[in-house]
């Protein structure tokens, strides 16, 4: 596919980014849903089967209890079965996070970044191939980021708890102990949130900036510098919107009191809502990249510019 000239990149407000995510979801619906069906649906089906069987078992126990059954005799046969189902659900959940969600976000991010920064509509197969090539780098970078995130956060909370214990041990008035605890807990929570946001773009940098380990972490810090709280607000708003939609659909399905309907609606809501969330986060990455790189985007566009045609080179006619 020949690449079209890129539109001039521009920074956008949070509302504009969400609007772009909705508009691309509609315009690119076939691409988005095809990616979700091929990558995410198999894991959703396995998870739904496990959830449905567990819910059905619990529903049968409740029904028999209502009719005078004995709780111990009814639940004992289910302990092993439900334990196996929960174990299967946990394995599927881990695989979904490490493989399905990672591949789906990688494919969507590559599509968004290529279109926004270079005007190229990359087909699904190439997007998935790109996500697959970067998968190991994403895993290693995320693991490295978790370690770097965990050490300062743990130290911060230990210091906060230790300070409160020291104040309490000095037999200070209880009001002072409580006030110290509240202030230090708020400070520790604020640091935890801020520190987490600075790592928010590690996986995106590992994919589209082709960084790994410390390079991906440093790139995430560069992207979120002076934009940490803006990034937090956008991510929270995105997850709230998606959560409201999913909860609304699940609440509506629960009215039927049919486990199969509830499980099916839950799976379908994830199938349709998850790609939109990924689109929204992908547009945030693009916006942060434009803000952070500034004039460096000109070099990026030159690097990804379409090759001259034969006619343009004087080879035509």
Alpha carbon of 270 to those of 21, 113, 165, 250, 273: distances in Å?
A: 17, 23, 44, 11, 5
pLDDT tops 60 at residue 242? yes
Residue 248: inside a domain, yes or no? Answer: yes
Q: What is the pLDDT of residue 252?
A: 77
Q: How many domains does the chain contain in total?
A: 1
Per-residue pLDDT tens digits for 119-171: 788 899 999 999 999 999 999 999 999 999 999 999 999 999 999 888 888 87
Domain range for 188: 14-293
Q: For residues 174 and 63, what is the distance between their CA atoms, to the nearest angstrom?
A: 51
Does residue 32 contact residue 107 with C-beta atoms inside 8 Å? Answer: no
pLDDT tops 80 at residue 306? no
Residue 5: inside a domain, yes or no? Answer: no
Q: What is the maximum span of the chain, computed from C-alpha positions, in angstroms? A: 93
Q: What is the pLDDT of residue 93?
A: 67
Per-residue pLDDT band at 73 (split at 50, 70, 90) = low
Per-residue pLDDT band at 284 (split at 50, 70, 90) = very high
Residue 235: inside a domain, yes or no? Answer: yes
Residue 316: inside a domain, yes or no? Answer: no
**47 vs 302: which has the higher pLDDT:** 47
Residue 165: inside a domain, yes or no? Answer: yes
Cβ-in-10-Å burial (0-12, 13-18, 19+) of 217 comes to buried
Residue 225: inside a domain, yes or no? Answer: yes
Residue 306: inside a domain, yes or no? Answer: no
Scan for tokens 């990034």, then name that residue.
Answer: 231
Residue 300: inside a domain, yes or no? Answer: no
């Amino acid at each position: 596919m020949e690449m079209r000239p890129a539109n001039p990149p521009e920074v956008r407000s949070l509302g504009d980014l969400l609007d772009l995510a909705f508009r691309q979801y509609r315009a690119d619906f076939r691409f988005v849903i095809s990616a979700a069906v091929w990558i995410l649906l198999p894991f959703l089906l396995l998870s739904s089967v496990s959830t449905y069987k567990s819910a059905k078992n619990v529903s049968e126990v409740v029904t028999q209890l209502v009719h005078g059954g004995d709780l111990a005799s009814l639940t004992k046969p289910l302990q092993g079965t439900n334990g196996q189902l929960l174990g299967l659900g946990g394995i599927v959940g881990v695989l979904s996070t490490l493989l399905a969600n990672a591949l789906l976000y990688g494919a969507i991010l590559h599509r968004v970044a290529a279109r926004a920064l270079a005007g190229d509509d990359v087909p699904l197969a190439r997007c998935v191939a790109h996500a697959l090539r970067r998968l190991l780098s994403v895993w290693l970078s995320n693991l490295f980021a978790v370690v770097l995130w965990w050490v300062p956060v743990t130290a911060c909370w230990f210091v906060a708890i230790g300070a409160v214990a020291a104040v309490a041990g000095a037999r200070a008035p209880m009001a002072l102990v409580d006030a110290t605890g509240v202030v230090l807990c708020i400070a520790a929570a604020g640091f935890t949130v801020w520190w987490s946001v600075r790592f928010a773009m590690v996986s995106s940098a590992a994919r589209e900036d082709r960084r790994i380990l410390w390079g991906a972490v440093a790139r995430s810090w560069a992207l979120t510098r002076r934009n940490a709280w803006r990034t937090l607000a956008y991510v929270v708003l995105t997850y709230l919107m998606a959560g409201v939609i999913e909860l609304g659909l699940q609440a509506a399905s629960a009215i039927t009191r049919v486990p199969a309907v509830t499980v099916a609606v839950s799976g379908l809501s994830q199938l349709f809502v998850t790609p939109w969330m990924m689109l929204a986060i992908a547009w945030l990455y693009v916006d942060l990249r434009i803000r952070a790189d500034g004039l460096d985007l000109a070099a990026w566009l030159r690097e990804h510019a379409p090759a001259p045609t034969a006619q343009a080179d004087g080879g035509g006619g």
